[in-house]
Amino acid sequence: MTSDFKGEKIILEKIKREFGHKGIIQRAHRIWISIDKEELLDWAKWLKQEGFIHLSAISVSDWIEERKYKIAYLLWSFKDNVLLVLTAKIDRENPVVDSIIPVWGNNAQSHERENWEFFGINFKGNSNLIPLFTENWQGPPPFRKDFNWQEYVRDKYYNKENERERGYYED
């Protein structure tokens, strides 16, 4: 049974009329759009009205050669059964982006806390950024690609007298 992407094409038409932007249909039930970070709140309010009421996740990946973080918002609509992925690129040395708690409620709070803790992103407007998983961590944000976690673990936990640990730390 092949689908002709009818629901997805209607949404893309509406987006073109409102913002003049083109998105990509990757397969059935998936739309990918990439925007600039300044337009984030306008898109967020318009998409919430159109039926994208569930925020699945906020996912960040670190592209160290381009010196940018790529942040992706994954949104699901129960009415049309479509998943829309909104991606934006932000600067790696001073990452600041608007918080989307006014649009999607307290669900976004825990996702933003996790990304603040692991990547160091400052969400403007979120006043409750306290650590979620770590306790008394003083070093740089641990998921960045230039933090050498293997060296940290070797300095702190390697017991040279135990012969069985040698294969993990010296190769």
Residues that bind another protein (CB under 8 A): 1, 29-30, 53-57, 59, 61-62, 72, 74, 78, 81, 83, 85, 104-107, 109-111, 132-135, 143, 149, 164, 167-168
CB of 125 to another protein, least distance (A): 17
Report the nearest approach of another protein to the CB of residue 119 (Å): 11
- Closer CB to another protein, 135 or 146, in the complex: 135
Shortest Å, Cβ 17 to another protein: 26
Contact 14, 31 (CB under 8 A): no
Could you tell me the two tokens for 68?
Answer: 């940018």
Q: Please name which of 130, 58, 119, 118 lies closest in space to residue 91, comparing C-alpha atoms.
A: 119
Nearer to another protein, 16 or 63 (CB): 63
Least spacing, CB of residue 71 vs another protein, in Å: 11
**Residue partners of 151: CB distance under 8 A and separation at least 6:** none
What is the amino acid identity at position 65?
A: E
The nearer residue to another protein, 155 or 170, going by C-beta atoms, is 170
| Percent of residues in the chain assigned helix, strand, coil, to nearest 5 | 35, 25, 40
